[in-house]
Amino acid sequence: MRKRLAIEIRGIVQGVGFRPFVRLLAEEFALSGWVKNTAEGVSVEAEGEVARLDEFLRRLSSRAPALARVDAVTSGEMPVLAGEGFLILESGSGSAATLIAPDTAVCTDCLAETRDENSRRFRYPFTNCTNCGPRFTIVKSLPYDRAATTMSGFALCPDCEAEYHNMRDRRFHAQPNACPLCGPCLFLSYPDKSPLAGDCLESARRFLAEGKILAVKGIGGYHLVCDAMNEEAVARLRAKKYRYDKPFALMMPDVATVRRFCLVSGEEEKLFSSWRAPIVLLRADPQGRAVAAQVAPGNSRLGVMLPYTPLHHLLMQGQEALVMTSGNVSDEPIAHEDGDAFARLAAIADCFLWHDRPIFRRCDDSVLVCAAGRPRLLRRGRGYAPEPLPFYSSDNDILACGGQQKNTFCLVKNGQAFLSQHIGDLHNTPTLESYAAEIGHFENMFDIKPALAAHDLHPGYLSAQYALSLPPGVVKTGVQHHHAHLASVLAENRLDEKCIGVIFDGSGFGADGCLWGGEFLLGDLSSYQRMAHLGYAPMPGGEQAVREPWRMALAYLTEAFPEGLSPRMKMLFPAEWPLVWQAAQKGVNAPLTSGMGRLFDGVAALFGKAAVNYEGQAAIELEQALTECDLPPYNFALIEKDPLLIDWRPVIKEAWRDVAGGQSMGVVSSRFHRGVIKMVTEVCLELRRRTAVNLVALSGGVWQNAYLLEQTMESLQKEGFTVLSNELVPANDGGLALGQAAVACALAKKR
């Protein structure tokens, strides 16, 4: 018996070779009909024998192309037409809400071609196909067709055109398809744009060998690149970039090389060699090869990625390890437009290896770490954005504006959450402009018209100011910072039930106007209650105390030792400390903080770390110094109040006794970490007694500390708790937007 079905397919089904896959499958089952891209996904009409149609339907999802993600296949019966052949129809135009694939690392087939002397793409740096290459960063609008990408200016040559139209070719409808005859060109130029003669790649490799700094145009922006084995080159890059201490990312040519430098688990290897090709934080092998010390000073982890474009592979030839850091000065956004890149990076780079395929949107490399048995995103960018996360159903489109630091935003439509790539810190005009522009692009691309805007309560956050500046027709919802962190964990799991949120971060704006960050919240999506928190301490000099942890040590020591500071303590502080403390006591620029991140800083500063060059540096160094020991953990005191008060004074007293007694940082770190873990367990047990809630959500930047996360989870699980933490979005403020969206969505449903 014959039947005709109208089939709708949803998911990541455009730009991934889905239509030719459907057509080949239809031919295999002798079906007639057609397939086309639509604004919502892919539409198919297929006609044939019932049994064959059933199998066809099944295979649509089970055999889908590598990069596709089929979320739903629905079908309905239609009148039989008895037509012949199976066609691929041109895309309809109009509004577009289709999903688009992230940028994808070069596939093995394409890589082989660039290494094959007989191929017309021998050594061609822009080789790609339906299974690989740039996507998100070159798309201007949808539906995804060449004309809507930054490839529109490159007319296909006859050979490429033939591939593009040949359904049996790997490059059938591959929009960025290109070859040396018709595609983008590579250039090597001095900072004044004057070209260098000779083979670009050969010269570029020679420059690297000579210790020079290259600006290299990649997928989502420019990288600054130098030989990671060359101490002088790395130091020079640091000085020119005004970036001190913060680790540089590395690119290594292959897995075998990575294993010579790092200790790599099977899971980690799978992660960095996937098509997403992110940076993965790996433990440096103390017995292995070592990169220049300046790559990651004071850090036992290395951020490593594999080459993900043919250009990278060609550049890596003969190299062991290259520094590959974002092409920017200090904390500005990564440069992605050629003019801007030359203007901003000319003072840093000795020459530019670039090309004429425009990058439409900037997108930093993603960063992950494997902790507590799971890969966890620390920065969500290339290879992940804009792949949506399944979300709660909502009647309205939602915009969640995110935080101030490590900003991302989130747009919700039809039960899907589209997270932006990492935008960065919104403290300067260029980043804010990039932020507003990117929200506009996302709204256009996915046809999202937010009726709700969620934002942080901090009046100084530019993201919150942006939300409040939206037209009056958009309903604004303020979401408390740590409530949003809690909700981000629930949202990843699409849960909405009461949990104990243990939210530890540097700071976020609290409901009482203080800076929170050592919080135990009892909450679900629509409400929360502050059940316990770390005792307040003044932050002398406000934000300055983040860069200068001695200020926190001063505050903690003064409160822990009311009898007065010893001479030895005073040696930790620069000469101006009495003035700083006087001002703090008068309440001048000394906001109260309960931030766990600050307490980590303060304990690290007991060892004389007066200043740091990036937020959390002292805490990271404290974590990495940790050496296992048998001495008991430090003790927090719990003071019966509402909310429960967690007193850190005994911890500071014990820690100082150890420091003064000559204990190593490793021992103090171990006792301190275990003290925090014991305290978290005790408080959770107490809250479970009071509330009968057994689900714990760990979120906030402090949980990026892998030791703390793993040991706390283990300790809580031993007590029978169900423990969740962030995986798909960062536990730091990069995950706030998802949580804000979840809260706004839940509150809207209640109204």
Nearest to 173, CA basis, from 151, 139, 146:
146
Q: Which of 78, 88, 167, 182 binds Zn ion (CB under 5 A)?
A: 182
| One of 157, 167, 451, 638 touching Zn ion (CB under 5 A) | 157
Contact 648, 556 (CB under 8 A): yes
Contact mark string toward Zn ion, 69..108, x via CB under 5 A: --------------------------------------x-
Residue from the set 733, 737, 739, 743 that interacts with Fe ion by CB under 5 A = 733
Find the shortest distance in angstroms from Cβ 176 to Zn ion: 10
Q: Is 219 in the site for Zn ion (CB under 5 A)?
A: no
- Cα–Cα distance between 332 and 551 in angstroms, integer? 27
**CB nearer to Fe ion: pick between 248 and 516:** 516
Partner touching 626 among Zn ion, Fe ion, none, CB below 5 to 8 Å by kind: none
Minimum CB–partner distance for residue 308 and Zn ion (Å): 12
CA angle (623, 625, 628) in 5-degree steps: 90
Query: Least CB distance from residue 468 to Zn ion, whole Å?
Result: 45
**Would strands 32-37 and 351-355 be described as parallel, antiparallel, or unpaired?**
unpaired
Q: Is 599 in the site for Zn ion (CB under 5 A)?
A: no
- Part in contact with Zn ion (CB under 5 A); list of ranges 47-55, 109-117, 361-369, 735-743: 109-117
- Among Zn ion, Fe ion, none, residue 129 binds (CB under 5-8 Å by kind): Zn ion
Q: Which of residues 13-42 bind Fe ion (CB under 5 A)?
A: none
- Least distance (Å) from Fe ion to the CB of residue 733? 5
What are the C-alpha distances in Å from 191 to residues 215, 233, 338, 353?
Answer: 9, 18, 11, 10
Residues in the chain: 751
> Is 129 among the residues that bind Zn ion (CB under 5 A)?
yes
Cβ atoms 36, 43 nearer than 8 A: yes
CB of 132 or CB of 555, closer to Zn ion: 132
Provide, for the chain, the percentages of residues in helix, strand and coil under a 3-state DSSP scheme, each rounded to the nearest 5: 35, 25, 45
Contact between 508 and Fe ion per CB under 5 A: yes
Query: Which CB sits closer to Zn ion, 307 or 591?
Result: 307
**Shortest reach from residue 656's CB to Fe ion, in Å:** 28
Closer to Fe ion at the Cβ: 15 or 730? 730
The rounded distance, in Å, linking the Cα atoms of 179 and 79 is 45
Mask of contacts with Zn ion, 508-547, x by CB under 5 A? ----------------------------------------
Beta strands 374-379 and 367-371 are antiparallel
Q: Which span sits near Zn ion by CB under 5 A: 176-184, 484-492, 510-518, 631-639? A: 176-184
For position 387 contacting Fe ion by CB under 5 A, the verdict is no
Q: From the CB of 115, what's the least distance to Zn ion, in Å?
A: 13
Nearest distance from residue 422's CB to Fe ion, in Å?
A: 15
Angle in degrees, CA 556, 560, 563, rounded to 5 = 125
Q: Which of positions 456-475 make contact with Fe ion (CB under 5 A)? A: none
Structure tokens that stand for 532 in this block: 């316990």
The b-or-e profile of 526-555 (16+ CB within 10 A means b, else e) is bebebbbbbbbbbbbbbeebbebbbbbbbb
In a 10 Å sphere around its CB, with 0-12 CB exposed, 13-18 middle and 19+ buried, how is residue 437 labelled? exposed
Peptide bond before residue 450 is cis, with ω within 30 degrees of 0: no
Q: Binder to Zn ion among 46, 70, 132, 502 (CB under 5 A)?
A: 132
Which of Fe ion, Zn ion, none interacts with 505 (beta carbon under 5 to 8 A by kind)? Fe ion
Q: How far is the CB of 401 from Zn ion (least distance, A)?
A: 37
- The CA-to-CA distance between both ends of the chain, in Å, stands at 52
User: In this structure, which amino acid lies at residue 381?
Assistant: G
- 501 Cβ partners below 8 Å, 6+ apart? 482, 483, 485, 486, 489, 519, 520, 521, 522, 523, 528, 696, 697, 699
The smaller minimum CB distance to Fe ion, of residues 230 and 699, is found at 699
CA distances from 577 to 201, 525, 584 (A): 54, 44, 10
Q: E strands along 524-604, which residues?
A: 528-534, 537-538, 592-593
Considering the rule CB under 5 A, would residue 179 count as an interface residue with Zn ion? yes
Nearer to Zn ion, 89 or 181 (CB): 181
User: By C-beta, is 73 or 702 nearer to Fe ion?
Assistant: 702
Asked if residues 133 and 175 have their Cβ atoms less than 8 Å apart, the reply is no
Q: Does 268 bind Fe ion (CB under 5 A)?
A: no
Contacts of 505 (CB under 8 A, 6+ apart): 482, 485, 517, 595, 596, 597, 700, 701, 702, 732, 733
Residue 14 or 507: which CB sits closer to Fe ion?
Answer: 507
The three-point CA angle 18-19-23 to 5° equals: 120
The least CB distance from residue 279 to Zn ion, in Å, is 22
Position among 113, 505, 519, 524 found at the interface with Fe ion (CB under 5 A):
505
Specify the residue, 109 or 543, whose C-beta has the smaller distance to Zn ion.
Answer: 109
Residue 643: cis peptide before it, omega within 30 degrees of 0? yes
- Least distance from C-beta 482 to Fe ion, angstroms? 7
Task: In angstroms, give the least distance from the CB of 591 to Fe ion.
Answer: 15
> Least distance from C-beta 365 to Zn ion, angstroms?
20
Q: Which stretch binds Zn ion (CB under 5 A): 48-56, 174-182, 305-313, 522-530?
A: 174-182
Among 42, 110, 186, 311, binds Zn ion (CB under 5 A): 110
Residue-wise DSSP of 300-358: SEEEEE---SHHHHHHHTT-S-EEEEESSSTTSPPP-SHHHHHHHHTTT-SEEEEESS-
The residues binding Zn ion (CB under 5 A) are 107, 110, 129, 131-132, 157, 160, 179, 181-182
The residues binding Fe ion (CB under 5 A) are 505, 508, 733
